[in-house]
Amino acid sequence: MKILMANTRHYHGGGDSTYAFNLASLLREKGHHVSFFAMQDERNLPDPNSDLFVSPINFRDLNQKKNLKTGWQVLTRSIYSNEARKKFALLLEREKPDIIHVHNLHAHITPSILFEARKQGIPVVWTLHDYKLVCPNSHLLNDTTGNICEACKGGRFYQAVWKKCKKGSFLASFMACLEAYVHQILGIRDLVDVFLTPSEFLRNVFLENGFPSEKIVHIPYQIAIPHRTRSRVLSDYFLFLGKFDRIKGIYVLAEAAKNLPEIEFRLAGKADDKEAQDFLSTLPPNMHYLGMKTGVELATLLGDSRALILPSIWYENQPLVILEAFAAGKPVIVSNLGGMKELAKPEERGLLFEAGNARQLAASIKFLYENPDKCEEYGKNSLEYVKQYHSSDEHYRQIMNIYTRLAQTAHQVSQ
């Protein structure tokens, strides 16, 4: 089968691209042909179709200029890109895919490509990695208050402007609101044959926002299981992996760490923006930033840890970092929100704490620090869980069931 994947980033930088690359590798191993459509970027991996990738645009730079010309550029490019549709049409002619699998396309590629897919009668599968189709700010979070927000539920996107949800800015919120309404009027959801949700929580959110249940299928992410997994506690440090962003709960973690001076915390991830640098400059003595880690270094860091901590303050979908910890035989301590709550079954695969509550987080950390036997028990349970529900074989079976059904239906319609 020939599958064309559409994702803005064609480089390793976020859960959506990580999942897309992993799925592409799995499909190729099984003998399928996989191609990509993305945005041009100097960080991109080599690709034979890069000549047809949509041209790059940097919204951060354009937003800083703030004039009518740049405003028009942002408006026309972020909502419906004619360039993306034209290049996508050329790529469809070149690759002739049986299935189009969308990941992240808002703002840079835009849903304009879905109209071309429908025109040519090619089925579309869209894996939902966030809440963008029901929340102008993508995360069900108000940037102004830092609180969970579902005010736009049911298509009331004007609430985003009223509350200045996006970046605390009226203009940014207005643009996001306009994008949401235009896509609603254009019937974007009707151009997709099946939406896939990694978490049950995300599926329920979309159902509550009026998406038809028959078009939303829950398929968990896959994770590679190491051939050899450490099952015993080797060190006493707790680990944070990810982006140093406020919504990841980094300040909650720092506050908890201050109350546990006897416990070591290690942090790894990119720190290439001002918020990250500001945060890292104020770490307490028992928190140590190790830089960006990948490959063997990351596996060792995770495998030697006591547990992974993910204190996010938003409704995470199905964080791959949690599955990576489980695959390493490690328990997790996570906020009791969204897909995190689904994965970390309390007192079986880890511990939950009230999102934003540094005192509860500290108590959970202290419990696992003082009870290494519980770490080992939860870690073993976590490993067995991912083997059963997140294996590559199971993921492939579920994905191919969707692909095959849609391809057969499309073939019958074309006859």
pTM: 0.92
* One domain, residues 250 and 380: yes
* Count of alpha carbons within 13 angstroms of residue 131, beta-carbon side: 33
- 230 assigned to some structural domain: no
Same domain (yes/no): 71, 14 = yes
Q: Report pLDDT digits (tens) over 107-164.
A: 789 999 999 999 999 999 999 999 999 999 999 999 989 899 999 999 999 999 999 9
Contacts of 39 (CB under 8 A, 6+ apart): 8, 9, 10, 53, 54, 55, 56, 57, 108, 109
User: For the chain, how many structural domains are there in total?
Assistant: 2
Residue 61: per-residue pLDDT: 64
Per the domain annotation, does 232 fall within a domain? no
Say yes or no: 203 and 308 in one domain.
Answer: no
Ramachandran region, residue 294 (left: φ > 0; alpha: ψ -120 to 50; beta: rest): beta
Torsion angle, alpha carbons of 279, 311, 22, 10, to 10: -30
- pLDDT value, residue 73: 65
Question: Using CA atoms, how far apart are residues 156 and 154, in angstroms rounded to an integer?
Answer: 6
Q: Give the helix ranges, DSSP H, for 147-194.
A: 158-163, 170-186
Range of the domain at 367: 238-389
Distance CA 153, CA 274 (A): 32
Report the pLDDT value the prediction gives residue 225, as an integer from 0 to 100: 85
217 with 257, same domain: the answer is no
| pLDDT of the residue at 63 | 60
- Structure-block tokens of residue 410: 């499309």
Structure tokens at 396: 């492939």
Q: pLDDT at position 69, please?
A: 63
Spans in the chain with pLDDT lower than 50: 231, 233
206 and 59 housed in the same domain: yes
Q: Is the domain of 361 the same as that of 402? A: no
Specify the CATH number for the domain of residue 205: 3.40.50.2000
- Note whether 295 and 340 are same-domain residues: yes
Cβ neighbour number for residue 187 with a 10 Å cutoff: 11
Give yes or no: residues 403 and 373 share one domain.
Answer: no
Q: What is the pLDDT of residue 3?
A: 99
Q: Contact at 8 Å (CB) between 100 and 34?
A: no
pLDDT in tens, 223-255: 988 765 554 546 899 999 999 989 999 999 999
d(CA 212, CA 196): 12
Query: So what's the pLDDT on residue 228?
Result: 59
φ/ψ (deg, to 5) at 48: -65, -15
